Amino acid sequence: MRGRDVLLLLCLAVIGLLGTSAFGTTVTYDHRALVIDGMRRLLFSGSIHYARSTPDMWPDLIQKSKDGGLDAIETYVFWNIHEPVRNQYDFEGRKDLVKFINLVREAGLFVHLRIGPYACAEWNYGGFPLWLHFIPGIKFRTDNEPFKAEMKRFTAKIVDIMKQENLYASQGGPIILSQIENEYGNIDASYGAAGKSYMKWAASMAISLDTGVPWVMCQQSDAPDPIINTCNGFYCDGFTPNSKNKPALWTENWSGWFSTFGDAIPHRPVEDIAFAVARFYQRGGTFNNYYMYHGGTNFGRTTGGPFITTSYDYDAPIDEYGLIRQPKWGHLKDVHAAIKLCEVVILATDPVTTSLGPNLEATVYNTGPYLCAAFLANIDTQSDATVSFKGNSYYLPAWSVSILPDCKHVALNTAKINSVTSIPEFVYHSLKDNVDASEAALSSWSWFSEPVGISSDNAFSRNSLLEQKSVTADRSDYLWYSTSIKSVGDEVFLDNGAKTTLQVDSNGHVVHVYINGKLAGNGKGNNGHPKVSIQVPITLAPGKNKIDLLSLTVGLQNYGAFFDLTETGITGPVILRSSSNGSSNIDLSSHQWTYQVGLRGEALDLPNTAGSSSSSSVWTSGSTLPKNQPLIWYKTSFDAPPSRKNHTDPVAIDFTGMGKGEAWVNGESIGRYWPTYIAPNEGCSVSCNYRGVYSPSKCQTNCGKPSQRLYHVPRSWLKPKENTLVLFEEIGGDPSKISFATRIVKSM
């Protein structure tokens, strides 16, 4: 090592020592990197959202992240799970944010805490609690006093908790970075001048909380100093921060994509992620966070969207069940190791890029003849190339980067995978026969028929059709809209041979039409088109006819300008049409409608009381099990599926045979199930070409199959024997077809 290089390293070390405060770690930044205790740091980070797994999974997920070469874990904070009722906070169990951060600290990793408190994240209502919607005069995410007051109160609450627990790096804790808002710059134009002043207010409110560590705003090119504006996307190598004093940080490198009911499953090839990561560090980046590193599960009714699946697997390096996904995890680990070999020189200097030909680039980090690292990139989407660099020749496959930690030897080419491949599989366990005592045993089923229409004393009436979430406050997915019509004077609708239909227009997301207690038809939307517009053929009887419309939401909108105001439910019109005598219509939209929020079974708290003897009078058993009938609650008990020796194999329920609904194990909701929502036949490719710009529609699988048929049951929710399973089946299904599986990975 030459004298100049030694001097440089010594200087960095001395700055490092000076930067250490007596009580904790200083975190600042300069134009190259985050500076921790005076040392620039090159970091890899990964998103794990604590509420999408269980506390007993956390240590293993964090360890696997560390083993994969991560230095930091990123998580959002989900306001709506922590403050379900205004001023009533909940930080227990899966919501124990402090415990999660302490586990990350114990593993020796840093934390990036994205407080938001708007999260997006395919999380219900973007993370906002529904009560916020009902505050008089409130307007979300703009310069509005009631909103700002609530946002400040919650943000300050989280910062206070972190401070009390000494979790900021400035206090000796692991949190090195915090985020305020989320991608507001993508939509702020829709809010006009008030959007700009809100953004500035959010920035200064965050700074005033005095965390001692930097704040970031992602996708906010005008984030005011000292807030760092950061990049989110599939590629961020073209990103430059808004000041020469700020480093290039990549807060969301999408490792895959989320899936939605009714769509195929997206996959992002690891060669492309590796290429994107290498390109980012090549062009001067020093912090990359994978969104997601472990996606996990949207338990309960936490999915947003609408129509986001219960699985939030995301094709991430660690799969939904907590198992390593290969070769993604391993190849990225190799990429991290190769880039870390260049760390000292990358941090010591600025990159210099030259062209080696069309779509061929060499970037050199050089502080002298002995400290040199290079990245050679072929960004052509088709042609491989051989390039000459510093007197040697290098073969560069299309869409790849070679990393040369000494400017000579290739430590890794992003398109060449050395890591093992592994094939995860589900092993099914017989539940019905209980032939083998070691296998999970399912006892017989009991059931409860959910009444059609209004059954509650709390129902109320209006002469109009109401927006759904304004009525339900999202206490339930379900809202009954009930009315009746007398056929007197409307005989045209009873004419033999006349076609009578009921037109129902809903803003989403699913509608079931009952006429005189019988299911007459239904309709559903999807993620791209949540609205439902159906014409249901119906038959009316002479006299009074009951019309009961069951409308439901499947996760509230989480993204976009004014997303919080997106309407749901049947706002009409609802029109009765007859083809007889030409055509004749009755618009029922301003009839008297009676409303009931939620189901009888929910009011009876069946998911939580099913295991107790007090609820036994509600349930029927012994006679024939109702199958393929709508609106049935089912319950049974089962023994935990076995694990292989020395393993704790994760458990899933396969809901094939069922329609749509929600399931609870020992009172814990494992989420909405919907195995009958099938992905389109088209849009999947047998092979996946990683070369070229990725988009979620590029490498899909699962066409023509259910978007999700297997649902995660965390092991920690299971007892060895006599677990209670409760289902609410909305459309109709055969619970005897349900099966249990455990997930194992075999390496090749």
Active site residues: 183, 252
Q: If binding is defined by CB under 6 A, does position 121 make contact with ligand GAL? A: yes
Q: How far apart are CA 160 and CA 210, in angstroms?
A: 10
- In the complex with ligand GAL, the residue whose CB is nearer, 296 or 351, is 296
For ligand GAL, the binding residue among 57, 73, 115, 120 (CB under 6 A) is 120
| Total of residues contacting ligand GAL (CB under 6 A) | 8
| Phi, psi angles (nearest 5°) of residue 345 | -75, -35
Q: If binding is defined by CB under 6 A, does position 122 make contact with ligand GAL? A: yes
Q: How far apart are CA 104 and CA 64, in angstroms?
A: 11
Q: If binding is defined by CB under 6 A, does position 182 make contact with ligand GAL? A: yes
Q: Which of 460, 470, 465 is nearest to 571 (CA)?
A: 465
- In the complex with ligand GAL, the residue whose CB is nearer, 501 or 558, is 558
List Cβ neighbours of 612 (8 Å cut-off, separation of 6 or more). Answer: none
Candidate segments 120-128, 347-355, 383-391, 481-489, binder of ligand GAL by CB under 6 A? 120-128
- In the complex with ligand GAL, the residue whose CB is nearer, 120 or 679, is 120
Q: HSE-up of 269 (CA within 13 Å, CB side)?
A: 21
Q: How far apart are CA 400 and CA 271, in angstroms?
A: 8
Q: How far apart are CA 121 and CA 78, in angstroms?
A: 9
Q: Are 732 and 630 contacting, i.e. CB atoms less than 8 angstroms apart?
A: yes
Q: Are 254 and 291 contacting, i.e. CB atoms less than 8 angstroms apart?
A: yes
Q: Which of 388, 353, 354, 348 is nearest to 368 (CA)?
A: 348
Q: Which of 296, 240, 351 is nearest to 53 (CA)?
A: 296
- Three-class secondary structure of residue 155 per DSSP: helix
For ligand GAL, the binding residue among 96, 165, 183, 406 (CB under 6 A) is 183
Count of Cβ atoms closer than 10 Å to residue 539 Cβ: 12
CA distances from 641 to 439, 655, 737 (A): 6, 16, 16
Q: Are 364 and 376 contacting, i.e. CB atoms less than 8 angstroms apart?
A: no
Candidate segments 118-126, 502-510, 518-526, 533-541, binder of ligand GAL by CB under 6 A? 118-126
Give the x/- contact pattern for ligand GAL in 129-168, rule: CB under 6 A: ----------------------------------------
Q: If binding is defined by CB under 6 A, does position 561 make contact with ligand GAL? A: no
- In the complex with ligand GAL, the residue whose CB is nearer, 186 or 736, is 186
Candidate segments 52-60, 114-122, 143-151, 560-568, binder of ligand GAL by CB under 6 A? 114-122
- In the complex with ligand GAL, the residue whose CB is nearer, 311 or 402, is 311
Candidate segments 117-125, 537-545, 634-642, 655-663, binder of ligand GAL by CB under 6 A? 117-125
- In the complex with ligand GAL, the residue whose CB is nearer, 258 or 445, is 258
Give the x/- contact pattern for ligand GAL in 230-259, rule: CB under 6 A: --x-------------------x-----x-
Q: If binding is defined by CB under 6 A, does position 103 make contact with ligand GAL? A: no
* Token pair in block for residue 574: 């609802």
Q: Which residue in this structure is represented by tokens 């059709």?
A: 465
Q: How far apart are CA 741 and CA 712, in angstroms?
A: 10
Q: If binding is defined by CB under 6 A, does position 181 make contact with ligand GAL? A: no
Give the x/- contact pattern for ligand GAL in 504-533, rule: CB under 6 A: ------------------------------
Name the maximum alpha-carbon separation found in the chain: 102
From the CB of 304, what's the least distance to ligand GAL, in Å? 8
Q: If binding is defined by CB under 6 A, does position 80 make contact with ligand GAL? A: no
Please state the separation of Cα 144 from the chain's center in Å.
28
- In the complex with ligand GAL, the residue whose CB is nearer, 120 or 412, is 120
Contact set with ligand GAL (CB under 6 A) = 120-122, 182-183, 232, 252, 258
